[in-house]
C-alpha cells in the first residue's frame, strides 16, 4: 500500500504539473503532491466534473492500481466538498484537504522501508 502512495506522486492530475524528480527531497515530492490536489480542488470549484478529472488521471496514469487509488482520493475530495457558494469556506477546504494529503504523504515516507520507496 505504501508503494502505491509513493507511486501517486508520479501521477499528475492536472497536466501542467511537473513530475517529481529522483533528486527531489521527500518534502519537495510531498509539496508537489499537495499542489496537485490543491489544483484538483480548484478545478472542481471551476466546474470540472469528477469524470473529467478521472479522464486526466487515465491519461497520465501508468499503473492501473495507482490510478484507481488516485481516483478514489479525488472522489473523496468531491464527495466531501462544501456545496455552498461561500468562497472562504471553499478556500479553507482546499487548503485543509491538500495539507492533510501532504502530511499523510510525509508520514508514509517516514514510516516506509527503503524497499517501498524505490
Does residue 16 sit within a domain? no
Q: Is pLDDT above 50 for 77?
A: yes
Does residue 14 sit within a domain? no
CA Rg, the chain, in Å? Answer: 14
Does residue 56 sit within a domain? yes
Angle between helices 87-111 and 26-45 (to 10 degrees): 150
Please indicate whether residue 81 or residue 63 has the higher confidence score (pLDDT): 81
Digit-coded pLDDT (tens) for 7-22: 444 444 444 444 556 6
Q: Kindly indicate the confidence band of residue 5, based on its pLDDT and cuts at 50, 70 and 90.
A: very low
| Domain around 77 | 2-8+26-112
Question: Please, are residues 40 and 14 in contact by the beta-carbon 8 Å criterion?
Answer: yes
- Burial class (CB within 10 angstroms; exposed 0-12, middle 13-18, buried 19+) of 70: buried
84-103: b (≥16 Cβ within 10 Å) or e: eeeeeebeebbeebbeebbe
Digit-coded pLDDT (tens) for 86-113: 888 888 888 888 888 888 888 877 887 6
Does residue 108 sit within a domain? yes
As for how many domains the chain has, the answer is: 1
Q: What is the DSSP letter of 20?
A: P
Does residue 15 sit within a domain? no
Digit-coded pLDDT (tens) for 33-68: 778 788 888 888 888 888 888 887 777 655 676 677
Does residue 19 sit within a domain? no
Q: How far is CA 51 from CA 21, 38, 88, in A?
A: 28, 18, 26
Does residue 117 sit within a domain? no
Does residue 21 sit within a domain? no
Tell me, yes or no, if the pTM score tops 0.75.
Answer: no
Amino acid at each position: 500500500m505504501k508503494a502505491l502512495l509513493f507511486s501517486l506522486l508520479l501521477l499528475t492530475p492536472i497536466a501542467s504539473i511537473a513530475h517529481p524528480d529522483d533528486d527531489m527531497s521527500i518534502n519537495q515530492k510531498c509539496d508537489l503532491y499537495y499542489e496537485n490536489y490543491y489544483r484538483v480542488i480548484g478545478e472542481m470549484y471551476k466546474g470540472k466534473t469528477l469524470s473529467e478529472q478521472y479522464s486526466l488521471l487515465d491519461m497520465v496514469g501508468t499503473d492501473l492500481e495507482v490510478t484507481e487509488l488516485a481516483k478514489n482520493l479525488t472522489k473523496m475530495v468531491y464527495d466531501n466538498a462544501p456545496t455552498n457558494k461561500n468562497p472562504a469556506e471553499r478556500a479553507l477546504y482546499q487548503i485543509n484537504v491538500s495539507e492533510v494529503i501532504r502530511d499523510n504523504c510525509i508520514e508514509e515516507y517516514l514510516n516506509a522501508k527503503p524497499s517501498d520507496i524505490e
